[in-house]
Structure 1
Amino acid sequence: MKKNAIVFTGGGSAGHVTPNIAIINELSQGEWDIHYIGSIKGIEKELISEMNIPYYGISSGKLRRYMDKENIKDLFRVLKGIIEARKLLKRLKPKLVFSKGGFVSVPVIIAASSLKIPIYIHESDLTPGLANKISQRFADRIFTSFDEAASHFPARKTTAIGSPIRREIFSGEKERGREFIGFTDERPILTVMGGSLGAKKMNETIRESLQELTSIYQIVHLCGKGQKDESLINIKGYRQFEYISNELADILAATDTVVTRGGSNAIFEFLALKLPMLIIPLTKKQSRGDQIQNAESFLKKGFSLTLEEENLTKESLLESLDKLEKRRGQIINNMQASPMSDALTVLIKEINKHRR
């Protein structure tokens, strides 16, 4: 029996890819012929290729909210990407295109719309990124992680469901995690995650505070590609990695407290795992402010504390972590009371409606 084709798209950061991976892992490959369209050199290519999913790179231009001479060049890149995506979609004949956003998704969405292929999009953040602002007019269904985000889209086709969380994130074992890191049960474990690209000021402040932090915690520092400090490899109770993939579930199972950026997918995973978190969001100089809004939402709901990067120092970090530990019990209670739905199950059910 011929399988139904489905095309996923989204890229630019791991946050635009990992939810797609979560969905792909749940779809029956006996019923679905799965393909991925992304950028030619983006992180999505590396992550998807590891899964042996057919991957197609297309031309894409950066989407900017400001005037820049590069906008003209990028307009032509987007037009080229639309032509390339349309050619691919005509050949693949998917029953559905599913997008997680990022600038590479826009040419795919426009091409799919021109071919009358059904389109689903998911918005992770509290307010939509520019790619999903453009894509919403072409989408048949829109899903959001935050209830607050739904108000930014047409009500008739928008549903707030939470974030699609990878099932494997729940499969970790505490003892296996401790063994992998080389830690004991004598002190709690603090995991620091700066995102797939790292976080320079976070990394520097953590390292500046190591003497004080290692008297309280054992520290796992996921610092980003090229961000390891080889002079610190022999410090007891401190392990650093550029990036962790297969062992992440075990490390999180062993983790007691998290210091993290404010990316939606990550903080929803920590919420699901009931891990108290200190969120240090990207500044508005580094982003459109979405992580600040995500952090504010979690703070209001009592899931976390926030420390603005502009205020990040050794002293403020230690003070914030102390405050977090004092509120640990209440934060975990708030997380346990959260009415978060199983977004992954919802999406799989909706996608499967497009089977023959």
Structure 2
Amino acid sequence: MDKKQIVLTGGGTAGHVMVNLAIIPILKQDGWQIDYIGSKNGIERNLIADIEGVTYHPISTGKLRRYMSIENFKDPFKVLNGIRQTLGILRKTRPNVIFSKGGFVSVPVLIGARLKGVPAVIHESDLTPGLANKLAMPFAKKILATFPETLAHLPADKAKWIGAVIRPELFNGDRRKGLRIAGLSEAKPVVMVMGGSAGAQRINEAVRAELDALTKSHQIIHICGKGNLEPSLKKYGYMQYEYVGEELPDLLAATDLVISRAGANAIFEFLALQKPMLLIPLSKQASRGDQLLNAAAFEKQGYAEVLYEENLSATYFTEKFNQLVNASANMKVNMQNYQRQNATALVIEEIYKLAK
């Protein structure tokens, strides 16, 4: 190729950005010019816009709401405007290929790619495709899946199972440094609590309600989401963060057990790092049910205990946590038997194939 120009897209949640974050350093090292199309105010802008060597382009985008709102009637016009903006960006950047991680910002980008004749590849993390990827699939040349079961839900002529893309820096954490950062000791095992990029109020409440019981035997790193800190809650062995960035590899290295939502990218990262999990997936009332399927798959393979949100109470939370502690040794054995593909290399390989 005379030039190597790529447009990345994806956003709405951190999960729709993490794979892009994993491949950006490799693309930069290989000499690609990188543009990123995201929303004006989404989390992807916070995570991507300041990366050196990546040009961020905000566009108008719609959103799926599971409730009645006047905004639902405005969204088709936002998507049309996003397509128009995408076409302008693609005329200017003239990319060889587009890589999409999903989220509603990706829909106008994939439509624009088809209109401009730019080949596109989609990555689907969840066990079943989300609505945004379903809408975008007809405009893509290739669709890559994290779960092998996902292939049953994808067009056979486009689909390929590659496994989970894991950010390489997560394997470089230092346990002692992580303990030092969090102000914790080697005396007790460490539990990391994560509620996703936006936090999870019910998980936060359950952890804090049972904090005295939890800290008798464990130390807690609590990533509670933006605006969810409890400044008055100061306790030895308990550290709160709204969000964790560059410290995450070290904090994960210090972590023995995880309590988390069941977003696919996050739980596959915990699996790769062999962190036994208690998963509390988003309910059907709050989502399309993808996390329920993800959690069930991990529970079936012996990687996790599952607590359904409708059953979440302080006492049942403690009961399920104790089950996690008791099952953690067997979970680690199961995790050691997990055969992980080099999904990152396979993504880069598909990008090169389409670009040529």
Give the TM interval when normalised to the shorter protein: over 0.9
Q: What's the secondary structure of 1:54's corresponding residue?
A: strand
Give the letter for the 1:251 counterpart.
L
- CA distances 1:3-53 after superposition (whole Å, capped 9, x unpaired): 311000011011101111101122234520001000011110110012131
Change (3 A) 1:229 1:67: closer
User: Structure 2 matches for 1:68-147, cutoff 5 A?
Assistant: 69-147=70-148
CA distance in 1, matches of 2:326, 2:108: 48
1:103, distance to aligned residue in structure 2 (A)? 0.5
State the partner residue of 1:273.
273
CA distance in 2, matches of 1:292, 1:30: 38
1:339, distance to aligned residue in structure 2 (A)? 2.1
Corresponding pairs, count? 355
TM superposition outliers: structure 1 runs of 4+ over 6 Å: none
1:190, distance to aligned residue in structure 2 (A)? 0.5
CA distance in 2, matches of 1:65, 1:191: 30
State the partner residue of 2:63.
62
Contact conserved, 2:14 with 2:44, CA < 8 A, in 1? yes
CA distance in 2, matches of 1:85, 1:294: 32
- CA distances 1:227-282 after superposition (whole Å, capped 9, x unpaired): 0001112x111000001111100000010000000100000000000000000011
Q: What's the secondary structure of 1:156's corresponding residue?
A: coil
State the partner residue of 1:150.
151
Aligned: 1:198 with 2:228: no
TM-score for the superposition, normalised by structure 1:
0.97
Please tell me the root mean square deviation across aligned C-alpha atoms, in Å.
1.5
CA distance in 2, matches of 1:342, 1:291: 24
Aligned: 1:44 with 2:34: no
Aligned: 1:219 with 2:220: yes
Contact conserved, 2:97 with 2:355, CA < 8 A, in 1? no
State the partner residue of 2:319.
319
CA distance in 2, matches of 1:315, 1:253: 29
Task: Provide structure 2 residue ranges, at least 5 long, that are not aligned to the other structure.
Answer: none
1:170, distance to aligned residue in structure 2 (A)? 0.5
Aligned: 1:184 with 2:185: yes
CA distance in 2, matches of 1:102, 1:320: 32
Greater alpha carbon shift after TM alignment, 65-74 vs 224-233: 65-74
Contact conserved, 1:109 with 1:135, CA < 8 A, in 2? yes
1:285, distance to aligned residue in structure 2 (A)? 1.4
1:322, distance to aligned residue in structure 2 (A)? 1.1
State the partner residue of 1:21.
21
State the partner residue of 1:209.
210
CA distance in 2, matches of 1:277, 1:25: 29
Contact conserved, 1:199 with 1:224, CA < 8 A, in 2? yes
CA distance in 2, matches of 1:31, 1:183: 41
Task: Provide structure 1 residue ranges, at least 5 long, that are not aligned to the other structure.
Answer: none
Give the letter for the 1:101 counterpart.
G
- CA distances 1:89-124 after superposition (whole Å, capped 9, x unpaired): 111110110001100100000000011101000111
- How many percent identity over aligned positions? 49
State the partner residue of 1:7.
7
User: Structure 2 matches for 1:208-287, cutoff 5 A?
Assistant: 208-233=209-234, 235-287=235-287
State the partner residue of 2:296.
296
Q: What's the secondary structure of 1:28's corresponding residue?
A: helix
Give the letter for the 2:35 counterpart.
H
Contact conserved, 1:101 with 1:132, CA < 8 A, in 2? yes
CA distance in 2, matches of 1:2, 1:49: 27
CA distance in 1, matches of 2:339, 2:23: 21
CA distance in 1, matches of 2:69, 2:184: 50
Contact conserved, 1:296 with 1:306, CA < 8 A, in 2? yes
CA distance in 2, matches of 1:2, 1:157: 27
CA distance in 2, matches of 1:283, 1:50: 34
- CA distances 1:197-248 after superposition (whole Å, capped 9, x unpaired): 0100100110000100000101000000010001112x11100000111110
Contact conserved, 1:124 with 1:146, CA < 8 A, in 2? yes
Change (3 A) 1:46 1:318: same
Contact conserved, 2:120 with 2:354, CA < 8 A, in 1? no
CA distance in 1, matches of 2:2, 2:50: 25
1:353, distance to aligned residue in structure 2 (A)? 3.1
1:284, distance to aligned residue in structure 2 (A)? 1.2
Give the letter for the 1:210 counterpart.
L
Greater alpha carbon shift after TM alignment, 101-110 vs 320-329: 320-329
Q: What's the secondary structure of 1:230's corresponding residue?
A: coil
CA distance in 2, matches of 1:67, 1:202: 27
Contact conserved, 2:119 with 2:355, CA < 8 A, in 1? no
CA distance in 2, matches of 1:266, 1:143: 17
1:340, distance to aligned residue in structure 2 (A)? 2.6
1:309, distance to aligned residue in structure 2 (A)? 1.0
1:64, distance to aligned residue in structure 2 (A)? 4.9
Q: What's the secondary structure of 1:6's corresponding residue?
A: strand
